[in-house]
């Protein structure tokens, strides 16, 4: 693994630790364009790396009481099944189609980073966490979003955190810190389900050594990222990351469509 790929691994973990999302958006392009891995194998490898890294990040967030396991269970019940469905669909699509969908997901992530959704909650409500009954009142909508996020995770090798975080804030009433912590828990389950789906199907070769090596670097980055998330304002980092996503998505589309 060369220096640029190693740096991408560290950056992926850092971004996941700070934002609770965005890891796969760095990992998949890095594996394709820096490590020169075949696109389908890169998607599967990305899922494995994210599953391991997000599990470590979840443990760190749990130690800070930022993981709501009740909401994790509700959301994941639907999203894990969607992730498995996405892996089955992904095996039937062409590489170009998967990468175009991936680029579109990057544009959505960029929009979320550059135009954060305002949260109309009082300071007191944000301090105490989710409002009573919020999960049960929005169960159907939460379930549908969970399925959609899961399908996207399995289809193009993304954890879906950039969609999960705003969903948790708006639908479940979590504070941003709780949403990030709960997001990495859900991403862990989504990515694990997607990775196991590909591994069980056996139609895409998996380099388990590469998964382990990249994950070790990403874990180091996630440890630093989780600590930074509690000390630094993420506003300017989010805007910079949003611009990066637009540039990266545009490069993918230009490379594969022109």
Run means of pLDDT, 10 residues per run, the chain, 258 residues: 80 79 78 86 89 90 89 83 82 82 81 66 45 55 78 72 74 79 87 86 87 91 80 68 80 80
* H helix intervals, 173-234: 176-201, 208-229
pLDDT, residue 120, reads: 47
pLDDT, residue 168, reads: 79
pLDDT, residue 187, reads: 85
pLDDT, residue 233, reads: 66
pLDDT, residue 158, reads: 67
Query: Do the Cβ atoms of 88 and 197 come closer than 8 Å?
Result: yes
pLDDT, residue 152, reads: 78
| Other C-beta atoms lying within 10 Å of the C-beta of residue 132 | 10
Side-chain-side CA neighbours of residue 214 (13 Å): 33
Cα–Cα distance measured from residue 206 to residue 148, given in angstroms and rounded to the nearest whole number: 25
pLDDT, residue 97, reads: 86
Cα–Cα distance measured from residue 49 to residue 56, given in angstroms and rounded to the nearest whole number: 11
Closest CA to 247 of 116, 155, 109: 109
> What are the angstrom distances between the C-alpha of 133 and each of 69, 73, 150?
15, 15, 24
Every domain of the chain and the residues it spans = 3-257
Cα–Cα distance measured from residue 77 to residue 69, given in angstroms and rounded to the nearest whole number: 12
Query: What pTM, to 2 d.p., does this model score?
Result: 0.72
Q: Which residue has the tokens 């992904």?
A: 90
pLDDT, residue 52, reads: 92
């Amino acid at each position: 693994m060369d220096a640029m790929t190693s740096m991408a691994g560290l950056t992926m973990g850092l971004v996941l630790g700070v934002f609770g999302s965005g890891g796969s958006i760095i990992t998949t392009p890095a594996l394709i364009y820096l490590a020169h891995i075949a696109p389908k194998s890169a998607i599967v490898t990305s899922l494995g790396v994210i599953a391991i890294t997000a599990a470590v990040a979840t443990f760190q967030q749990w130690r800070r009481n930022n993981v709501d396991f009740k909401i994790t269970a509700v959301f994941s019940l639907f999203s894990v099944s969607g992730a498995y469905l996405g892996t089955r669909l992904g095996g039937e699509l062409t590489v170009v189609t998967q990468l175009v969908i991936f680029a579109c997901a990057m544009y959505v992530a960029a929009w979320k980073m550059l135009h954060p959704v305002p949260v109309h909650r009082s300071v007191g409500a944000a301090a105490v966490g989710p409002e009573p009954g919020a999960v049960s009142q929005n169960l159907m909508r939460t379930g549908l979003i969970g399925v959609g996020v899961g399908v996207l995770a399995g289809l193009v090798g993304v954890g879906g955190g950039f969609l999960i975080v705003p969903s948790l804030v708006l639908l479940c009433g979590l504070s941003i810190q709780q949403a990030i912590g709960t997001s990495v828990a859900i991403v862990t389950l989504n990515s694990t389900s997607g990775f196991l789906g590909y591994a069980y199907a056996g139609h895409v070769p998996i380099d388990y050594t590469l998964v382990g090596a990249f994950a070790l670097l990403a874990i180091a980055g996630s440890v630093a990222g989780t600590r930074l998330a509690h000390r630094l304002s993420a506003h300017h980092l989010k805007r910079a990351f949003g611009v990066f996503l637009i540039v990266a998505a545009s490069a993918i589309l230009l490379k594969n469509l022109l």
